[in-house]
Structure 1
Amino acid sequence: MHGLRRCLPWALLAATAHAAHAAHAQTQGAPLRIHVRGSAQIEAVAWTEPDGFVVRGSVVDDARSAIAEAPLSIDALTSAGAPAVLPAVDGCAADGTARAREPRPSQGGYVIATDERGGFCLRGRAPLADATLRIRFAGGKLYDAVEAKIPIEAHAAPLAPVILRFDPPVDAVDLDRPTVNVTVALRLDRSGARGVGSGAPFERERLPVVLEDERGARLAEAPTGGDGRARFELPTERLDGAGQGVLRARFDGTATLAKASVSQSVVRYAQVTLDLSHPVEPARAEDGVPIDVEVRSSRGPVEGGVVEALRAGEPVGAATVIGGKARVIAAFTAERAGTVPISLRYVPASPWWIPGAELAIDVPVAGPGAWRQIALGAAVLAIAGWVLGGWRRAPKRAATTRAGDERPVAPPGRAGVRVMGPLEGATGWRGAVADAHDGTPIARAELVIVVPAFDGSGVIARALTDDVGEFSIEAPYRSDARLVVRAPTHSSHEQALPSPSKLGIALVTRRRAVLDRLVRWARRQGAPFEGPPEPTPGHVRRVASRVQQREVELWASRIEHAAFGPDPVDERIEQDLGASEPKPGASPLAP
């Protein structure tokens, strides 16, 4: 595994929970609407100056992304906890590049909105000693409320504001590498250093910077060099396991420099390897061959995802990974005893698990037993007798089975209609509709058969799936007819209508559909939008921002919100995202 892998940000946990609840609701025959709100965090420092005080900080969400335009209320408390009177204040730039936001009075304090980087800054016109500032964010539709109490630290002289930056940003960490290089740049905000040092230069060398993670664990400490950068060669073994996390750099200040901190959302990923738990025991292929698989990474057992068994590239079995183990039942047809080559591959459910190489194994299969041979012979004789005697009796409609009685097949991973078998003498279609990726039955899916029509809808038959995703639809077969399948949370699928038969229909969720659209678009564009291991909305958004393609940046942001946000993606949103897909143009590096 080489190179930087871009991974999805961690609203996916909320999206996964949302999808699970939606699937449960479908099986109960009633839609369930849930709202997932993220948490917010206020990071701030405050200190006195001879002629006033300064408070500056930022507001970020649980993925460590800036929350812009967040209204904050700020008041003061004495050491005894009683309300303190705040002097008049002015707005100041949260860092050297942002525009200052002006506060407005409100109920004994002030209200100020964060800037586009999620930062805020206030400068008091008079000292405020022995007090604590209370900063509150009321939250909203997407975020919970949060409050922080920031003590005002006393200093004899004005402090120069300090800004920390990860340079370059570290948004992905390969846990299979022994170390990861992290560089933190420390810069003095001279625009905010009012009356500090009488114009004397500040020394940026040998200033200690501490690196921490989301647990608050101290990972490393390094001094800044002459260029104001602290460089870390961080052992990955000190980091937590695969998943979403945070890197936080902290500078505790000096007698002349203010405290500062910066947080960076990261995804720690690891490669997944497969191995057999024990040799495969011979079994009849038609009955299914059990294959016990160990699913591990460099950090131990893997949780979640699916192990899929393939024969000649076609799926023949799949099983969910629980506690680093999966038991796959591979079912296929084998004419004689011997060994059959099977490939096992890992299909991740989370972006921090990277599939490794497929595991190739030879599966021993047993031939049909004596009783089965006798049964097969009897079946052949019975069929022959039925054919010979058929002219003496009226045709009898063939018996059919419910779709749920068919042998399960592995989810195909894409939308489509699979003909599972004939329905002799039938004029209609029976089968089941399921999710293309996890095989979950889709209840209340609508199947419509349409034919060309000069007026009207052209609909000649319509049916809904039941609580276990099964359907039955009757209509005369026409070669020009089309089958349209729709579901509340899944993208619609349309294709030519097969002849009357048993059908297995797979649909892709709209969240996956909009993500797939972005991936296809980025691959058509090529570098730098096509990032390894595959493009993500966050990667495309950052690249578009860097090359100043505003239309692409907004589109990627909308797809990111649709795919991982708290609200369901309906057909209107999916169509709107498709219609607003950026058109191919000049090279993305063009000015």
Structure 2
Amino acid sequence: MTELVQTKCRIFLRRRNLSPFSALLARCFGSLLLSGLLVLHPIPLVAAPRVLVRGASRLEAVASGPQDRIQIHGTLRDEVGEPIADALLLASAMAEPGVTIAWRTVGACTDESTSRSDSTDVPVTTDASGAFCFVGSLARRQAMVRVVFAGSAHFNETQTIAAWNASQQSLSIAFTPRPEKLDLDADRILVFARVTPATTTSVRGLPIALKTEDGSTLATEKTDDSGLVHFDVASAAMAPPGIGALTIAFAGSDHFTPAQATTSVTRSVRVALNTDTQIIRGDPSRGLALQVHALSSRGPVPSGTIEANLNGQVIGTGTVMNGAADVSLTFSPSHGETRYSVDLHYRPDSPFYEPARATPVQVMAEAPSPWIRFIPVAAAIIVTAWLARGWRRPPRREMRASRTPIWKGIASVDVVSASSVRNQWTGRVVDAHDGLPLFGARVRVIAPTFVDEDVVMEVYADDSGHFEFRLPSVEPALRLYVETATHARVDQPLPPASEMVIALASRRRLLIDRLVHWARDRGKPWYREPEPTPGQIAKVARAHHGNEVAVWAEQVERRAFGSDLVDQRIEKEVHDLEPRGHALR
């Protein structure tokens, strides 16, 4: 920690262009202040929980060359492999860990000559591709070069150490091609890499290790005459579905410097659905309960949604938890038809679990008992007889029967029943996909004017999604606005006083839906059954030089499946990236 704070202080001083004497005084004062804080308030043994508010960064560096012109180059990227441009780095040489030594000369890689320097730290800035490069000389034949990125407003700090030996030749190592997605359903996974020396020296027989993000070694293979190496790894040795990283590393030898390369990968599996029964019997108008199991080659699926479709219409949904979901199939059967085929679809909420083909389930619709049909008639007769006994007939109250909405993933305002109190509205706000209540949803009644919109009333939903409000008077032009930070606004005319169920569509899901509709409108190769994922669309775009589409699809994947909240601003930023018509080249 102390070392990282000191590095950040040095970057701060260099950005202020202080004189050497002022910088020395500032460093001494900072060291004394840091020491005092550590004594007065020692760091506890158990750290407090961290909330990740910045992205991770990954730094790679290689040091090679003769003693009088050592070249240090590398890249700075984020956790998904995108370059971090215009980042300030500090490079220092060390005789051993913790012991820094001064550079004799430093300069840019593009300059033939270098300038004298007695500094222990060399500032260098990454270019648009996240790359950096500088040259220097040292008064020794071997050292370690530490490169530090002190972090920024968007990325966490990181550092790396590159070993340098004047008697060793430099190597570069790279994936060929770079693996982006690992199919865990396959029996074996193939990874290829190539080692390239700085000279024409043979690199045959160099041991190259393939490692995971936790540093464990999956396999070690040797290079052939051309420097090519391939790894054949059982998919069972890979980590579970999720975002990870693969590293190819050469530990170094008497003749060659160490080298490594890292790339981000997505591990995924396909999800298969099954049920305890293939035929369900009962009255679908009253709802038929069905438990659906979501399984993969890596065991039960932890999340997602099960969607039941009948003739293209959603008739039930269920949230997957620990590999199972409870789905209620509700629809009105056609007259004379008793057998229906319902398709069950898995809708993922992350790119790590992909839907397989739809699973069919047969529904045998049974008519309700005649006695059940007689009950309303008997009740009507009894009520009529009771009313006939009175001297005057009480006023009739018209009320629509309550009904349970079917969540179709579409934003809507559903009037359940008329209000029993004059000018009073009640109801609840739920998610349009799973029906869960939306705490803190903002419910407003707006009166449009020529200049602006006047807020007539504003309330917020409680933790169960319920809300209630009254208006002293009602005007025909009033509109109802309902929204949350993560759910798109519903805007429609205010219905008569009633009990309502308001369903809001998640901005994350709207990003996916917009991408799928875009692909469906353009057909193949963008669209394929059951539905294309953002990663698949990005891959097609990259293969056909459609960088504009690829950037948009990758942003949709990052925002829809990432940990950050997707609010109105983020949604607009992603929408602005949408191509306005795109033909393949």
Confirm whether residue 177 of structure 1 aligns to residue 189 of structure 2. no
Q: Alignment partner of 1:49: what SS?
A: coil
* CA-CA distance at 1:504 after TM superposition: 2.3
2:474 & 2:311 partners in 1: Cα distance? Answer: 34
Instruction: Give the equivalent residue in structure 1 for 2:259.
Output: 260
1:468 & 1:308 partners in 2: Cα distance? Answer: 24
CA RMSD of the aligned region, Å? 4.6
Instruction: Give the equivalent residue in structure 1 for 2:54.
Output: 37
Asked whether the equivalents of residues 71 and 109 of structure 2 are also in contact (C-alpha less than 8 Å), the reply is no
Confirm whether residue 73 of structure 1 aligns to residue 90 of structure 2. yes
Confirm whether residue 543 of structure 1 aligns to residue 552 of structure 2. no
1:509 & 1:540 partners in 2: Cα distance? Answer: 23
Which structure exhibits the higher relative contact order, with contacts defined as CA atoms closer than 8 Å and separated by 6 or more residues?
1
* CA-CA distance at 1:297 after TM superposition: 0.9
Select which of 506, 509, 515 maps to 2:506.
Answer: 509
Instruction: Give the equivalent residue in structure 2 for 1:413.
Output: 409
* CA-CA distance at 1:394 after TM superposition: 3.2
Q: Which amino acid counterpart does residue 534 of structure 2 have in structure 1?
A: T
Asked whether the equivalents of residues 90 and 125 of structure 1 are also in contact (C-alpha less than 8 Å), the reply is no
CA displacement, residues 49-107 of structure 1 (integer Å, 9 cap, x when unaligned)? 354544443333333444333322222333374332333233438xxxxx99x999796
CA displacement, residues 114-173 of structure 1 (integer Å, 9 cap, x when unaligned)? 333433344332354464333322112222222334444x353x5133241332x32122
Instruction: Give the equivalent residue in structure 1 for 2:121.
Output: 109
Q: How does 1:367-406 map to 2 (within 5 A)?
A: 376=376, 378-385=378-385, 392-395=392-395, 397=397
The change in CA–CA distance for 1:505 and 1:147 in structure 2 (over 3 A counts) is same
1:239 & 1:571 partners in 2: Cα distance? Answer: 37
Q: Which amino acid counterpart does residue 171 of structure 1 have in structure 2?
A: E
* CA-CA distance at 1:493 after TM superposition: 2.5
Task: Name which of structure 1's ranges 41-50 and 134-143 shifts more when overlaid on structure 2.
Answer: 41-50
* CA-CA distance at 1:222 after TM superposition: 4.3
Instruction: Give the equivalent residue in structure 2 for 1:162.
Output: 172
Instruction: Give the equivalent residue in structure 1 for 2:146.
Output: 134
Instruction: Give the equivalent residue in structure 2 for 1:219.
Output: 218
Q: How does 1:27-66 map to 2 (within 5 A)?
A: 36-46=53-63, 49-51=66-68, 53-66=70-83
Select which of 425, 429, 434 maps to 1:433.
Answer: 429
The change in CA–CA distance for 1:457 and 1:527 in structure 2 (over 3 A counts) is same
The change in CA–CA distance for 1:358 and 1:151 in structure 2 (over 3 A counts) is same
Instruction: Give the equivalent residue in structure 1 for 2:29.
Output: none
Instruction: Give the equivalent residue in structure 2 for 1:27.
Output: none
User: Given the two structures, how large is their TM-score scaled by the length of structure 1?
Assistant: 0.73
Asked whether the equivalents of residues 104 and 112 of structure 1 are also in contact (C-alpha less than 8 Å), the reply is no
Task: Name which of structure 1's ranges 170-179 and 368-377 shifts more when overlaid on structure 2.
Answer: 368-377
Aligned residue pair count? 531
CA displacement, residues 492-539 of structure 1 (integer Å, 9 cap, x when unaligned)? 223455565543222123343344444444554556665885252795
* CA-CA distance at 1:244 after TM superposition: 1.9
1:464 & 1:82 partners in 2: Cα distance? Answer: 60
The change in CA–CA distance for 1:342 and 1:501 in structure 2 (over 3 A counts) is farther
Q: Which amino acid counterpart does residue 184 of structure 1 have in structure 2?
A: A
2:258 & 2:97 partners in 1: Cα distance? Answer: 25
Asked whether the equivalents of residues 270 and 352 of structure 1 are also in contact (C-alpha less than 8 Å), the reply is yes
* CA-CA distance at 1:348 after TM superposition: 1.8
Q: Which amino acid counterpart does residue 381 of structure 1 have in structure 2?
A: I
Task: Name which of structure 1's ranges 347-356 and 419-428 shifts more when overlaid on structure 2.
Answer: 419-428
Asked whether the equivalents of residues 164 and 260 of structure 1 are also in contact (C-alpha less than 8 Å), the reply is no
* CA-CA distance at 1:249 after TM superposition: 2.3
2:387 & 2:484 partners in 1: Cα distance? Answer: 43
Instruction: Give the equivalent residue in structure 1 for 2:353.
Output: 353
Instruction: Give the equivalent residue in structure 2 for 1:144.
Output: 156
The change in CA–CA distance for 1:248 and 1:549 in structure 2 (over 3 A counts) is closer
The change in CA–CA distance for 1:462 and 1:124 in structure 2 (over 3 A counts) is closer
Asked whether the equivalents of residues 270 and 353 of structure 2 are also in contact (C-alpha less than 8 Å), the reply is yes
Q: Alignment partner of 2:318: what SS?
A: strand
Asked whether the equivalents of residues 222 and 231 of structure 1 are also in contact (C-alpha less than 8 Å), the reply is yes
CA displacement, residues 404-440 of structure 1 (integer Å, 9 cap, x when unaligned)? xx77655322222334345579666532221223333
Confirm whether residue 123 of structure 1 aligns to residue 135 of structure 2. yes
2:196 & 2:436 partners in 1: Cα distance? Answer: 53
Instruction: Give the equivalent residue in structure 2 for 1:21.
Output: none
Asked whether the equivalents of residues 92 and 121 of structure 1 are also in contact (C-alpha less than 8 Å), the reply is yes
Instruction: Give the equivalent residue in structure 2 for 1:235.
Output: 234
1:246 & 1:185 partners in 2: Cα distance? Answer: 18
Q: Alignment partner of 2:453: what SS?
A: coil
Task: Name which of structure 1's ranges 382-391 and 105-114 shifts more when overlaid on structure 2.
Answer: 382-391
The change in CA–CA distance for 1:522 and 1:294 in structure 2 (over 3 A counts) is closer
2:455 & 2:414 partners in 1: Cα distance? Answer: 22
**Percent sequence identity over matched residues?**
29
The change in CA–CA distance for 1:554 and 1:322 in structure 2 (over 3 A counts) is closer
The change in CA–CA distance for 1:51 and 1:462 in structure 2 (over 3 A counts) is closer
Q: Which amino acid counterpart does residue 431 of structure 1 have in structure 2?
A: G
The change in CA–CA distance for 1:163 and 1:311 in structure 2 (over 3 A counts) is closer
Instruction: Give the equivalent residue in structure 2 for 1:445.
Output: 441
1:363 & 1:546 partners in 2: Cα distance? Answer: 45
User: Given the two structures, how large is their TM-score scaled by the length of structure 2?
Assistant: 0.73
The change in CA–CA distance for 1:313 and 1:582 in structure 2 (over 3 A counts) is closer
Instruction: Give the equivalent residue in structure 1 for 2:195.
Output: 186
Q: Alignment partner of 1:392: what SS?
A: coil
Asked whether the equivalents of residues 84 and 131 of structure 1 are also in contact (C-alpha less than 8 Å), the reply is no
2:317 & 2:505 partners in 1: Cα distance? Answer: 18
The change in CA–CA distance for 1:362 and 1:531 in structure 2 (over 3 A counts) is closer
Asked whether the equivalents of residues 134 and 149 of structure 1 are also in contact (C-alpha less than 8 Å), the reply is yes
Instruction: Give the equivalent residue in structure 2 for 1:457.
Output: 453
* CA-CA distance at 1:468 after TM superposition: 2.4
2:115 & 2:562 partners in 1: Cα distance? Answer: 31
2:140 & 2:400 partners in 1: Cα distance? Answer: 83
1:522 & 1:147 partners in 2: Cα distance? Answer: 41
CA displacement, residues 362-415 of structure 1 (integer Å, 9 cap, x when unaligned)? 4678886899788656534345447767992332656899xxxx7765532222
Q: Alignment partner of 1:393: what SS?
A: coil
The change in CA–CA distance for 1:461 and 1:72 in structure 2 (over 3 A counts) is closer
Q: Alignment partner of 1:73: what SS?
A: strand
Asked whether the equivalents of residues 291 and 324 of structure 2 are also in contact (C-alpha less than 8 Å), the reply is yes
Instruction: Give the equivalent residue in structure 2 for 1:22.
Output: none
Asked whether the equivalents of residues 89 and 122 of structure 1 are also in contact (C-alpha less than 8 Å), the reply is yes
Q: Which amino acid counterpart does residue 349 of structure 1 have in structure 2?
A: D
The change in CA–CA distance for 1:112 and 1:349 in structure 2 (over 3 A counts) is same
Q: Which amino acid counterpart does residue 41 of structure 1 have in structure 2?
A: R
Task: Name which of structure 1's ranges 553-562 and 232-241 shifts more when overlaid on structure 2.
Answer: 553-562
Asked whether the equivalents of residues 103 and 118 of structure 2 are also in contact (C-alpha less than 8 Å), the reply is no
Instruction: Give the equivalent residue in structure 2 for 1:307.
Output: 306
Q: How does 1:338-349 map to 2 (within 5 A)?
A: 342-349=342-349
1:241 & 1:290 partners in 2: Cα distance? Answer: 32
Asked whether the equivalents of residues 280 and 290 of structure 1 are also in contact (C-alpha less than 8 Å), the reply is no
Asked whether the equivalents of residues 180 and 265 of structure 2 are also in contact (C-alpha less than 8 Å), the reply is yes
The change in CA–CA distance for 1:588 and 1:291 in structure 2 (over 3 A counts) is closer
Q: How does 1:266-345 map to 2 (within 5 A)?
A: 266-277=265-276, 289-310=288-309, 314-330=313-329, 342-345=342-345
The change in CA–CA distance for 1:104 and 1:392 in structure 2 (over 3 A counts) is farther
